[in-house]
Amino acid sequence: MDWIERVDDDLVAQLTEWRRHLHANPELSFQEYETTEFISDLLTRWKIPHERPLDTGVVAHIRGSKPGPTVAMRCDIDALPITEENEFEFISTKPGVMHACGHDGHTAILLGVAKVLAELTSEIQGEVRLLFQPAEEVVASGARHFIEKGVVDGVDAIVGLHLMSAVDTGKISLGEGPIMASVDRFEIAVVGSGGHGAFPHQTIDPIVVASSLVTELQTLVSRRVDPLQPAVVTVGSFKGGDVFNVIPSRVELTGTTRTLDEGVRDLIHRELVKLAEGHAAANGAKAEIVYERGNPSLENDASLVKHLLPAARAVVGRENVIRVPPVMGGEDFAHYSRRMPSMFAFIGSRNPEIGSDFPHHHPRFTVDESALGIGLRYSLNVVERLASVGGGLPAGA
């Protein structure tokens, strides 16, 4: 019997119920205490051994009756500092906090996987490790913290998924190679010398220096990076000065850089520092720079994708397994993908008829709940191919 045949209407209805409960009770990164309790209570009910390596988040171990590889499945459980503008009956009960990225759905799907697998241990070889990971949405990254705690020690391959409002419900996007970008953050303080707005010659005006620096930073992409390599440099904040007739001493910029290639990432890091320092110095000012490296770019292992494409096709049909182009958004699953063969899929949840076509992180974002069952069936198919008796990892992964 295929494992997905264990998914019936009752289970799909439960997924929806869990997702709605989580949606109504969102918690910010590293503060997912109630969410952690909720997950842990269900795992206890299903007699699945699990632990909490951090204050929040849960790691469950489903050990098969036969020896074999260890395969990990990961979901993220955190919400965002956004005030929800949806109007359905299970909207966030916490002002200013909202599941606006679909992590409520991811958690529900992985709970469904846990419930089914708990009854299948005799058919499992090796271990299936389920990672309910906190804090995907912050640069400090729950994935990084999980890895430091040894959560993926001994794991041979890891898979993850994201519900995606840019992809129609009923489609799954799966492709090898880079699919999401590295995420770095920078701060540049341009330090000049303030004074009277009427006597600029007696000052070093950091507003003028920082303004031209913003324009100069655009040349990193247009004149430093190979035109065939994707890269983004965005200045997201520019703060300086309080009064119309005073030249301030300091202007502070923050921004982000995104790349799909680690070599390009290193180049931008190096050149951004050089440019900011040189540009400030050429104008008599000083640049104080903090460059924080966040998620690396996310790459799918080619042999895993090849091995697991049939798992997706069996759920939605060959014609509905697509490959969307890489995006310059980031995903902290990339920290795992740098350490072991990994695969990350996008499960379509766009349905304009029910309003699930708002972009992620929008105050009216929501997921099409019919994608939850698709995500569950897909996940079970994947884990069956990797961890059932007779299944296994592809050669090369």
CB of 369 to Zn ion, least distance (A): 17
**Hey, which residues does 238 pair with through a beta bridge?**
253
Both tokens of 330, joined, read 């980031």
Distance CA 123, CA 115 (A): 14
Nearer to Zn ion by C-beta: 103 or 279?
A: 103
Query: Which of 120, 183 has the CB closer to Zn ion?
Result: 183
Kindly state the smallest distance separating residue 354's Cβ from Zn ion, in Å.
20
Closest separation in Å from C-beta 150 to Zn ion: 24
- In angstroms, the CA 115 to CA 108 distance is 11
Q: Which is nearer to Zn ion, 48 or 101 (CB)?
A: 101
> What's the DSSP call for residue 171?
-
CB of 104 closer than 8 Å to CB of 23: yes
Which residue has the CB atom at the shortest distance from Zn ion?
Answer: 101
- Which one, 3 or 378, has the nearer CB to Zn ion? 378
Other Cβ atoms less than 10 A from the Cβ of 339: the count is: 12
Q: Is 387 helix (H, G, I), strand (E, B) or coil?
A: helix
Min dist CB 344 to Zn ion, Å, is 11
Strands (E), 213-356: 231-239, 246-247, 250-259, 286-293, 298-300, 321-322, 342-350
Question: Which of 103/250 has CB closer to Zn ion?
Answer: 103
Residue nearer to Zn ion on the CB measure, 101 or 371:
101
Q: What CA dihedral angle connects 85, 91, 95 and 99, to 10 degrees?
A: -90
Least separation, in Å, of the C-beta of 281 and Zn ion?
38
Number of residues assigned to the chain: 397
Question: Which residue in the list 27, 32, 76, 78 is annotated as catalytic?
Answer: 78
State yes or no: is 153 an active-site residue. no
CA distances to 232, 261, 304 from 328, rounded to whole Å, are 8, 11, 23
Q: DSSP string of 6-47?
A: G--HHHHHHHHHHHHHHHHS--BTT--HHHHHHHHHHHHHTT
Letter for the amino acid at 268?
I
* Nearer to Zn ion (CB atom), residue 81 or residue 200: 81
Query: Is 78 an annotated catalytic residue?
Result: yes
Contacts with Zn ion, residue ranges (CB under 5 A):
101
Q: Which of 26, 77, 82 lies closest to 54 in space, CA to CA?
A: 77
Looking at this protein, which amino acid is placed at residue 145? H
Q: Which is catalytic among the residues 32, 104, 123, 136? A: 136
Distance CA 59, CA 280 (A): 48
Tokens representing residue 202 in the block: 């007696």
Catalytic residues: 78, 136
